[in-house]
Amino acid sequence: MSFSQLGLSKALLRAVEEQGYTTPTPIQKQAIPIILSKKDVLAGAQTGTGKTAGFTLPLLQRLSQSPKKQGKAQVRALVLTPTRELAAQVGESIATYGKYLPFKSTVIFGGVGIRPQINTLKRGVDIVVATPGRLLDHVEQKTLDLSHIEFLILDEADRMLDMGFIHDIKKILALLPKHRQNLLFSATFSNEIKKLADRLLNSPTLIEVARRNTSAESIKQTIHPVDRERKRELLSHLINEGKWKQVLVFTRTKHGANRLSTQLEKDGITAAAIHGNKSQSARTKALANFKDGGIRVLVATDIAARGIDIDQLPHVVNFELPNISEDYVHRIGRTGRAGNEGEALSLVCVDEEKLLKDIEKLIKRPIPKVRVKGFTPDPSIKAEPIQNRSQSHRNRNGGGNRNSKNSEKSSEGKSRNRPRSNSSRSRSDQSKPRQTSHRRG
């Protein structure tokens, strides 16, 4: 099947062809015709399967087919994402595929000044891609009206719930008109996602292109057992011996990401860290340098697991296994995208054996263990506890790992340097522990 058989307009087909795409992915084959038929969709797809184009292309066509109401410029479509990087990625996709259409779009998220966003909204846009917290900032300041939304898309909905955005999502839903088309995309399904779908979607069509909570078959997964104190040494060894030019490395904490990138630099390996405490400009610069080969290693926390889209990224390394099993699937999904081959390595010490068992149970298969010569673990070393490693410790409705001072507390979508008013509440971009179950996005 080709894109021309999906019912897309000539303007969209031209844009797709210019990107070098000829054959739609499975999620695109299924989702595009259904969305064009004006039905609500609940879609489950692994990361890297082309789902962004799967909803961007039919959204642009539906806007073309639905006549714009006369009068004041109105926002007609809203795309919600959990992270700034993912919002930027979706915004780029809309701009790329919509280049021959008359629609204006913008991306709004926290961590950057709000004034330029206000000015863009005043000039009028058709499509807004946003993180939840900054979106509500604009609503409170009356710089954004959601009462004319015709299309609502929740991208990576499961991640939004993991990051504690459920309260903000409920507030946003209350501001939208009743009659609209809704699309919910999620890499994994949970009971919370099903509850959200029941609230949001109207007789949706269910699309699943792969078994739930699984990793792509194109990704070669390997476990390297190693002592906890020798992980950095082993990572440098693998990078140098394999002559890796581009590798994305995941740590559990922001401090750990900073420390590891500094240590790699001392080993002569160019590296940078990306996480929630970094300014947006620093995050953007690090990601750009990584994409163009300016640095070999990007060290990230799970905040980046869904927002980094790099064509043919060859290597992903779990320097530390994630506390939440599903995050393993999202992490390694940064490689092996769109059918390309990729390699995912995990450096596992004795402390993480329980985490590994949970991951293998989730993906329903064992991950091969390969001992690297010179790095065989010392059997006399005893396991030490990992704080909040149990999946049950994460409150999916309220954010997660809230009581761990070292955990990654998302600051996605939060505002800084915005005008204050008596009625508006501060959404600080700093990651501070909270006693309540509500965290701004």
Beta pairing class for 41-44 and 181-186: parallel
CA dist 186 and 214 (Å) reads 13
pTM of the model: 0.66
Q: Domain range holding 359?
A: 219-363
Q: What are phi and psi of 316, to 5 degrees?
A: -125, 135
Q: Same domain for 99 and 72?
A: yes
The verdict on residue 423 lying in a domain is no
Residue 3 has pLDDT above 60, yes or no: yes
Containing H/E element for 136?
A: helix 132-140
Q: Same domain for 99 and 142?
A: yes
List Cβ neighbours of 5 (8 Å cut-off, separation of 6 or more).
Answer: none
The whole-chain average pLDDT of the chain stands at 83
The verdict on residue 432 lying in a domain is no
Token pair for 54: 């799967």
Please, what sign has the CA dihedral across residues 399, 402, 405, 407?
A: negative
Token pair for 311: 């064509």
The verdict on residue 387 lying in a domain is no
Top-confidence residue, 71 or 198: 198
In this predicted structure, what is the pLDDT of residue 103? 94
Q: Same domain for 284 and 166?
A: no
Please, what sign has the CA dihedral across residues 87, 47, 253, 312?
A: negative
Average pLDDT over residues 80-96: 92
Q: Which of 98, 175, 92, 97 is nearest to 132 (CA)?
A: 175
Residue 424 has pLDDT above 50, yes or no: no
SS3 317: strand
Q: Which of 90-94, 213-217, 387-391 has the lowest average pLDDT?
A: 387-391
Q: Same domain for 175 and 313?
A: no
Q: Which of 317, 180, 170, 320 is nearest to 238 (CA)?
A: 317
The verdict on residue 389 lying in a domain is no
- Number of other CB atoms surrounding residue 195 within 10 Å: 13
The verdict on residue 368 lying in a domain is no
- How many domains, the chain? 2
Q: Same domain for 156 and 99?
A: yes
Q: Same domain for 90 and 150?
A: yes
Sheet holding 342-348, edge to edge: 219-225, 342-348, 315-318, 247-250, 297-300, 271-274
pLDDT in tens, 288-345: 899 889 999 999 998 765 566 776 789 999 999 999 888 888 888 888 765 677 899 9
The verdict on residue 382 lying in a domain is no
Last residue of a domain, one of 208, 227, 245: 208
Q: Same domain for 50 and 179?
A: yes
The verdict on residue 200 lying in a domain is yes
Q: Same domain for 178 and 136?
A: yes
Where does the pLDDT of residue 431 fall: very low under 50, low under 70, confident under 90, or very high at 90 and above? very low
Q: Same domain for 261 and 154?
A: no
List Cβ neighbours of 62 (8 Å cut-off, separation of 6 or more).
Answer: 35, 36, 38, 151, 181
Residue 125 has pLDDT above 70, yes or no: yes
List Cβ neighbours of 424 (8 Å cut-off, separation of 6 or more).
Answer: 137, 140, 141, 418
Average pLDDT over residues 94-121: 95
Q: Same domain for 186 and 251?
A: no
Contact 318, 251 (CB under 8 A): no
Q: What are phi and psi of 248, to 5 degrees?
A: -100, 125
The verdict on residue 114 lying in a domain is yes
Q: What is the rounded radius of gyration, in angstroms, for the C-alpha atoms of the chain?
A: 22
Last residue of a domain, one of 363, 388, 413: 363
Q: What is the CATH number of the domain that holds 9?
A: 3.40.50.300
pLDDT in tens, 394-411: 333 333 333 333 333 344
